[in-house]
């Protein structure tokens, strides 16, 4: 009998095994939802860190890498960092 408490760990190990056997043809391509272009370029989103939130007491920037369509520049919703459920 397997216990339920270890289930999460088992699932992670199984996922890791599955990823090792992945072939490119088995993966869903990601396409721009505006123009259908299948290639993306990495761009960097910057978030300003206010001096009061920064431990060093100075203003700063937090770089967030994300991908935009290499053709039209659109960024798919699924590729945008989530901001609404942050603490």
75 in Cβ contact with 67 (< 8 Å): yes
Q: Which of 74, 75, 76, 79 binds Zn ion (CB under 5 A)?
A: 74
Q: Which of 31, 49, 66, 71 binds Zn ion (CB under 5 A)?
A: 71
Residue with tokens 């659109």: 74
- Site stretch for Zn ion (CB under 5 A), options 11-19, 23-31, 67-75, 78-86: 67-75
72-to-4, 35, 80 alpha-carbon distances in Å: 47, 7, 16
Binding site for Zn ion (CB under 5 A): 32, 34-35, 37, 69, 71-72, 74
């Amino acid at each position: 009998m397997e216990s339920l408490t270890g289930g999460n760990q088992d699932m992670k190990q199984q996922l890791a095994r599955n990823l090792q056997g992945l072939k490119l043809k088995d993966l869903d391509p990601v396409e721009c939802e505006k123009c259908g272009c299948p290639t993306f370029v990495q761009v960097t989103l910057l978030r300003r860190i206010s001096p009061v939130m920064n431990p060093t007491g100075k203003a700063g920037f937090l770089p967030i890498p994300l991908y935009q369509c290499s053709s039209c520049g659109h960024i798919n919703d699924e590729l945008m960092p989530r901001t609404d459920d942050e603490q």
